Structure 1
C-alpha cells in the first residue's frame, strides 16, 4: 500500500520517465509522512539511464513538467545531489513509483 499523500497517474508517470530516460522515479520526504501539508513541495528522486543525465536547463524543465502533473511545486533530485547527511535515510525511505 502506498504511503504517498498524492497520486501520480501511472500512465503519465511512465510516459514522463520514458521520454526523459529515467530508469527509476521515487518519492521521498514529507509526501510520505504525516507532516505533509497543503504548502509542502513534493520531493522526487530520479535515476537516469546510463549516459542520459540531462543538463541544467532540461533538468529544470523536467521539474516544471512534474510540478504541472502533481499540481504543486516539485523538488527534483538525483541520489548524487542529496546531502550526504540524509542521503542514506532518504534512499531507504523512498517509495518507488517507476522502475
Structure 2
C-alpha cells in the first residue's frame, strides 16, 4: 500500500514541504483510503502561510514531491477546497 511507503518517507516528505514554506502536509484521496491503483497520483493537502508564492512554493513543491515519489502528485491548499467536497477531504486527510 502506498500510504505505508509515504509513512516510511515521512521525514523527507515533511522536510521537503517545509523547505518550500508549507506549515503542514497531509495526504487524502485514494491513497488515504487505501484504494489507489498502480498509476494513481498522490493528493497532498498542504497549508501555506498567508501570502505564499504560487510559483516559488506550491508548484516547486509539487515538482519536488513528484520526483521524490516518482509519480504524479497534486498539491491542494486547504483554503482552496471546494465547499462541496471540503468536509469529505478534511475527514479523510491523514497527517504526515
TM over 0.5: yes
Q: TM-score, normalised by structure 1?
A: 0.80
- Report what 1:74 is aligned to: 73
The CA distance in 1 between the partners of 2:58 and 2:34, in whole Å, is: 29
Q: Which runs of 5+ in 2 are unaligned?
A: none
**Does 2:39 correspond to 1:44?**
no
Structure-2 change in CA distance of 1:84 and 1:59 (3 Å)? same
Is contact 1:5–1:31 with CA below 8 Å preserved after alignment? no
Is contact 1:26–1:45 with CA below 8 Å preserved after alignment? yes
- The two structures, once aligned, show a CA RMSD in angstroms of 2.0
Q: TM-score, normalised by structure 2?
A: 0.82
Structure-2 change in CA distance of 1:5 and 1:41 (3 Å)? farther
Cα deviation, 1:42-74, whole Å, max 9, x if unaligned, reads 0001001344x1223542221111111111100
How many residue pairs match? The answer is 94
Q: Which runs of 5+ in 1 are unaligned?
A: none
The CA distance in 2 between the partners of 1:86 and 1:76, in whole Å, is: 16
